[in-house]
Amino acid sequence: MVAEDDAKQAELVRRYLEHEGHTVTVVEDGRAALDGVRREDPDLLVLDVMMPKADGLDVVRILRAEFREVPVLILTARSAEDDLLLGLDLGADDYMTKPFSPRELMARVRTLLRRGRRPAGPAPGGPLAAAAEDGTLAVGALRVDPARHEVSVAGTPVVCTPGEFRILAAMATEPDRVFTRQRLLAELHGFEKYISDRTVDVHILNLRKKIERVPRRPARLLTVFGVGYKLTDPARNTGHASS
How does pLDDT run across 206-222, given as a tens digit for each residue? 999 999 999 999 999 99
Question: Under 8 Å CB-to-CB from 21, ≥6 apart: which residues?
Answer: none
Query: What is the helix (H) or strand (E) element at residue 73, kind and residue range?
Result: strand 72-76
Assess whether 33 and 90 both reside in one domain. Answer: yes
Assess whether 153 and 199 both reside in one domain. Answer: yes
Mean pLDDT of 130-144: 75
Nearest residue to 120 (alpha-carbon basis) of 65, 179, 175, 161: 161
Specify whether the CB–CB gap between 84 and 113 falls below 8 A: no
Q: Which domain holds residue 201?
A: 137-236
Query: Beta strands 156-158 and 150-153: pairing type?
Result: antiparallel
Among residues 86, 117, 148, which one ends one of the domains? Answer: 117
Give the three-state DSSP class for 108: helix
**Backbone phi, psi, residue 97, to 5°:** -105, 150
Helical residues (DSSP H) of the chain, grouped into ranges: 7-19, 30-40, 56-65, 81-90, 102-117, 162-172, 181-188, 198-211
Assess whether 189 and 217 both reside in one domain. Answer: yes
Assess whether 49 and 142 both reside in one domain. Answer: no
Domain count of the chain? 2
Q: What would the pLDDT profile of 87-129 be if each residue is shown by its tens digit?
A: 777 788 888 888 888 888 888 888 788 765 433 333 333 333 4
Instruction: Name the residue type at position 7.
Output: A
CATH number at residue 34: 3.40.50.2300
Gap between the Cα atoms of 107 and 228, Å rounded: 26
CATH number at residue 222: 1.10.10.10
In a domain, 203, yes or no: yes
Gap between the Cα atoms of 89 and 127, Å rounded: 30
Measured between alpha carbons, how far is residue 113 from residues 17, 70, 73, 74, 135 in Å? Answer: 12, 10, 11, 14, 23
| Residue 31 scores a pLDDT above 50 | yes
Assess whether 158 and 189 both reside in one domain. Answer: yes
Assess whether 91 and 152 both reside in one domain. Answer: no
Specify whether the CB–CB gap between 14 and 24 falls below 8 A: yes
Predicted confidence at residue 120, as pLDDT, reads 37
